[in-house]
Chain A
Amino acid sequence: MRCVRAQRWMTTALDDELTGRRRRALDRHLARCEACHRELALTDRVLTALAAVPTEVPLPAGLEQATLRAVRAANAPRAETVGWGGWLEWLGHPVPALAALSAVLAIAGAAWWRTGGPPVSSSVPPVASRSTDAPSTARSAPPTLVAVATERRLVPEPSEPPPDLAAAPDLFVDLPILLNIEKLRNFDAILTTTVDGGTRAPEESGPPSG
């Protein structure tokens, strides 16, 4: 037996786990190899020292409580995530993400269908738009919803203020925007007036640098 192999078997031999044949071979080698004999003694001392090493340490004060707090925090329901981080988490769950996306699209589509399509341009009279869409809308949506939607679109802007506002004309007189309404009306003149009292062309005025 070579010394390298003998050294490989030493720990196992010291643990009394070396099989009979190997044990005898190792013993024969040790009987004639002084270096390996010393190595076995050294290995024995190292393993003995290791066995005496304490495997536990007193827990620092507060570690248990801190751990319990961390466990509770880790298992508490997550707060609503703000920003892209929360949305990116869905990439790890493609099936639920696609299902949720499909549901959102279906709801948005249904809402779009019920309200009769995209918002109508202000230049087009609502009634005319409604008249072209009316048959399909009437087929797909409950009559009450159509009536409500139509009613909302057809409410005219009031030509007169409500009676309670009309009875109190000074109600909003102290609002800052009303106090400065004169300046706002003359904004262009103020903007083009120079310090020396002259005027300059509006195109000369630009945004302040910096």
Chain B
Amino acid sequence: MPASSGSEKPAAAGIGAVAAQADPDVALMLRVQQGDEAAFGDLFRKLAPRVLQYMRRLVGHDARAEELTQDVFVQVFRFRHRYRPDSRLQTWVFTIATNLCLNELRRPERQRRVDLWARQDDEGRPDEPALADPNAVDPEAGAASRELARRLESAIAALPPKQRAALLLSRLDGLAYEDVAAALGCSEGAVKALVFRATQGLKQRLRDHL
């Protein structure tokens, strides 16, 4: 892996030092910026599980989600010098992930594909959600919880891509509306509208099951 080629400006270094103290992710990313491969591995192990889950829900295809997750981290390393420590690393990474996903969903050949849930039904594979509730202990409660999780995942998968991305980033990944707006390239007001419509869509689909 190549060594760092950019020289940090003093002001940026100062901001970086402060931000690194406040956010351990930033400290990790500053090491990645210096070409530290071990730090990149740590960063991957820390963020990839969330990015992969986000990708799976957004593209609805496990294998493609894994490829896209790989692409996200290749881009994270490739453009590591563009990251500024005064912004949240998670926001920056999810912005890359969202752009890659939305580009993938815009591809014509992608639009001809059937979504994950419909495909599983057609192939007769077990109609399981991406993840069952890991906290479920009681079998009956666990079954109900899994059923709700399955329906919820189906309802999320049925949302339009931008609504889905806005909902996932704001409600599941905990990004602020401002950060979601940056990731989606739209205004904060537009994000609120997207999340509202997404929530309304989920309510319509889950009305009889909640």
Interfacial residues, chain A to chain B (CB-CB below 8 A): 7-8, 11, 39, 42-43, 45-47, 49-60, 63-64, 66-68, 70-72, 74-75
Taking CB as reference atom, which chain A residue is nearest B174? A55
Contact A72 B53 (CB under 8 A): no
Q: Mark B46-86, 1 if CB is under 8 A from A, else 0.
A: 00111011101000000000100111011001100000000
Q: For residue A58, which residues in chain B have a CB less than 8 angstroms away from its CB?
A: 49
Q: List 30 A-B pairs, Cβ < 8 Å.
A: A11-B199, A45-B210, A46-B203, A46-B210, A47-B171, A47-B199, A49-B152, A49-B206, A51-B171, A53-B153, A53-B172, A55-B172, A55-B173, A56-B50, A57-B49, A57-B131, A59-B48, A59-B49, A63-B70, A64-B44, A64-B45, A64-B48, A67-B44, A67-B74, A68-B44, A70-B71, A71-B73, A74-B74, A74-B78, A75-B1
Q: For residue B44, which residues in chain A have a CB less than 8 angstroms away from its CB?
A: 64, 67-68
- Please report the C-alpha to C-alpha distance between residue A68 and residue B48 in the assembled complex, in whole angstroms: 12
Taking CB as reference atom, which chain A residue is nearest B65? A57
A46 to chain B, nearest CB (A): 5
**Taking chain A's interface residues, is the majority helix, strand, or loop, or is none over half, making it mixed?**
helix
A97 to chain B, nearest CB (A): 22
Q: Does B2 contact A (CB under 8 A)?
A: yes
B77 to chain A, nearest CB (A): 5
Which chain B residues in 152-210 approach chain A with CB under 8 Å?
Answer: 152-153, 167, 171-173, 195-196, 199-200, 202-203, 206-207, 210
A-B contact count (CB 8 A): 100
Contact B48 A11 (CB under 8 A): no
- Kindly identify which residue among B48, B50, B74, B167 contacts A55, using a CB–CB cutoff of 8 Å: B50
Q: Does B17 contact A (CB under 8 A)?
A: no
Contact B70 A42 (CB under 8 A): no
Q: For residue A72, which residues in chain B have a CB less than 8 angstroms away from its CB?
A: 1
Q: Which 3 A-B pairs have the closest CB atoms?
A: A56-B49, A57-B53, A45-B210
B17 to chain A, nearest CB (A): 26
Contact A63 B152 (CB under 8 A): no
Contact A67 B203 (CB under 8 A): no
Taking CB as reference atom, which chain B residue is nearest A76? B2
Contact A75 B134 (CB under 8 A): no
Taking CB as reference atom, which chain A residue is nearest B205? A46
- Please report the C-alpha to C-alpha distance between residue A75 and residue B80 in the assembled complex, in whole angstroms: 12
- Please report the C-alpha to C-alpha distance between residue A70 and residue B130 in the assembled complex, in whole angstroms: 26
Q: Does B149 contact A (CB under 8 A)?
A: yes
- Kindly identify which residue among B73, B133, B172 contacts A67, using a CB–CB cutoff of 8 Å: B73
Q: For residue B117, which residues in chain A have a CB less than 8 angstroms away from its CB?
A: none
Q: Does B41 contact A (CB under 8 A)?
A: yes
Q: Does B148 contact A (CB under 8 A)?
A: yes
Contact A56 B53 (CB under 8 A): yes
Taking CB as reference atom, which chain B residue is nearest A66? B70
Q: For residue B148, which residues in chain A have a CB less than 8 angstroms away from its CB?
A: 49
Contact B66 A60 (CB under 8 A): yes
- Kindly identify which residue among A50, A54, A63, A75 contacts B2, using a CB–CB cutoff of 8 Å: A75
Q: For residue A68, which residues in chain B have a CB less than 8 angstroms away from its CB?
A: 37, 40-41, 44
Contact B78 A42 (CB under 8 A): no
Q: For residue A59, which residues in chain B have a CB less than 8 angstroms away from its CB?
A: 45, 48-49, 52
Q: For residue A54, which residues in chain B have a CB less than 8 angstroms away from its CB?
A: 53, 131, 133-134
- Please report the C-alpha to C-alpha distance between residue A60 and residue B51 in the assembled complex, in whole angstroms: 13
Contact B210 A42 (CB under 8 A): yes
Contact A46 B199 (CB under 8 A): yes
Q: For residue B202, which residues in chain A have a CB less than 8 angstroms away from its CB?
A: 46, 50
B37 to chain A, nearest CB (A): 8
Q: For residue B1, which residues in chain A have a CB less than 8 angstroms away from its CB?
A: 71-72, 75
B130 to chain A, nearest CB (A): 7
